[in-house]
Structure 1
Amino acid sequence: MKVINQDYEKIEELYELYEQKIYSVAYSILNNIQQAEDAVQETFITLYNNLEKLHNLDNQEIKRYILRIVKNKSIDSYRKNKQHGILLEEYQRESIVAIDENIEDWEQRFMTENQIDILLAVLNESSRQVFKYKVFYNLSYQDISKQMELTEANVRKQFERARKRIHNVIGGLQIDEFTEFKKNV
C-alpha cells in the first residue's frame, strides 16, 4: 500500500509542477481548449503507467520526458484533427454529388413516397427500418447493426425476411409502379 501512496504522491507532485506547462505546450499545438485538456490528461496517464522510469531520472530529465510526451500526444491529436478535416471535406463534396444523383433517381422512379410507405407497412418496425437503411441509404449490414444496436446476423436475417415479404407483396400486385420498385429491390 505504501508503494501506491508514493506513486500517487509522485503524480500529484508532477501535476502541481508541470500541469500549466503541459497545458501551454498542448494548447500551442492544438489551439483548442478541450483537446489541450485531453492531451494533459493523456500525458499524466502515460506518466502514471511509466512511473518506474521516472524514479531513475533527475528533475531536468523528468521535465524533458514530460514535455516530449505532451508534444507527441498533441501532435498525434493534431494529425487526427487534420485527417478528420480532410475526410469531412471529401464527404461534403461527395454528398453534394450524391444528393444530385439521388434526386434524379427519385424523379425517375414511378412510386411515390406514400406508395412505398403503404408497401412497407406489411413489415414490423425493426424490419422496416433495416430495409430502409439497406435499400434507400445503401448502408452495410455492419453499419446498420451499429446504428440499430443489433447483431450483424440479426440485421441480415431481418433484411432477408423483409425482402422476401416485399417481393411476395409486389408479386401479388400488377401495378406498374410496384413493378418498377421490384426491379430496384
Structure 2
Amino acid sequence: MKKDYEKMEELYELYEQNVYYVTFSVLHNIQQAEDAVQETFMTLYSHLDDIRSLNSQELKRYILRIAKNKAIDSYRKNKRHGTFIEEYQKEAKGEADAIIENWEQSFMSEIQLDTLLKTLKESYKLVFKYKVFYDLNYQEISSLMGISEVNVRKQFERARKQVLTILGGKHELFEELRNNG
C-alpha cells in the first residue's frame, strides 16, 4: 500500500505537467483539463500492477494515451451536453423528447459501429473514431496522434472505405459516411 502511494507520487511528479499539457490541448479549459489530469491519475492508480512492467518510454506513452482519452471523453461530453442544451432551449417539450431519443439511438449506433471497427488497423480505428464519434477535424486529430494532417486524411479515407464496404450500404450511417469524406 505504501509502495503504491510512493509510486503514484513519483508518477505524478514526473508526468503531471505533460498530462496537463495534453488534456489542455484538447479541452482548452483550465478546470476541465485539471479534472482530466485527476481522472488520468485515478485510472493509473487502478492499473498500477499493469504499468510496473513497462519501461519509461512505454510508461510515458501509456500515461499520455490515457490522458488524451480522458480529455477526448470530456470534450465529447461537453459537445453532447452543449448540443443537448441548445436543442432543448430551441424546441418544445415533445421535440426535446425526440432529440433525447435520437441521441440514445446514435449512442447505440456508436456501440454497434465500434464492434465493426475491430476489423480495422489500430491507427485507422483511432482516426475514424476521432473524426466520426468525437467530431474532431483533421488538424485536431493530427495534433492528438502526432502524425501529419495528410496522413490523418489518408488513414480516415482508408478506414471510411473499409467501413462502407463492411456496411454494404445497409445502414443509415452509410450516407453520412459517404458524405463525410
Q: 1:1-185, aligned counterparts within 5 Å?
A: 4-94=1-91
Q: TM-score under structure 1 normalisation?
A: 0.49
SS in structure 1 at match of 2:91 = helix
CA distance, structure 1, for counterparts of residue 74 and residue 6 of structure 2: 28
Specify the code of the residue in structure 1 equivalent to 2:68.
Answer: K
The percent identity for this pair of structures is 66
SS in structure 2 at match of 1:56 = coil
| Residues 18-58 of structure 1: CA deviation (Å, up to 9, x unaligned) | 00110010001001111100100000000000000111100
Q: TM-score under structure 2 normalisation?
A: 0.50
> Mind listing any 5+ residue stretches in structure 2 that lack a counterpart?
96-181
CA distance, structure 2, for counterparts of residue 37 and residue 70 of structure 1: 11
Runs ≥4 residues deviating over 4 A: none
| Residues 59-102 of structure 1: CA deviation (Å, up to 9, x unaligned) | 00000000000000000000000001110110111159x9xxxx
Aligned residues: 95
| Residues 89-121 of structure 1: CA deviation (Å, up to 9, x unaligned) | 10111159x9xxxxxxxxxxxxxxxxxxxxxxx
CA distance, structure 1, for counterparts of residue 50 and residue 62 of structure 2: 10
Partner residue in 2 for 1:176: none
Specify the code of the residue in structure 1 equivalent to 2:32.
Answer: Q
Specify the code of the residue in structure 2 equivalent to 1:90.
Answer: E
Cα RMSD of the aligned pairs, angstroms, is 1.8
CA distance, structure 1, for counterparts of residue 74 and residue 67 of structure 2: 10
CA distance, structure 2, for counterparts of residue 60 and residue 10 of structure 1: 16
How many angstroms does 1:12 deviate by?
0.4
CA distance, structure 2, for counterparts of residue 35 and residue 95 of structure 1: 31
CA distance, structure 1, for counterparts of residue 86 and residue 43 of structure 2: 33
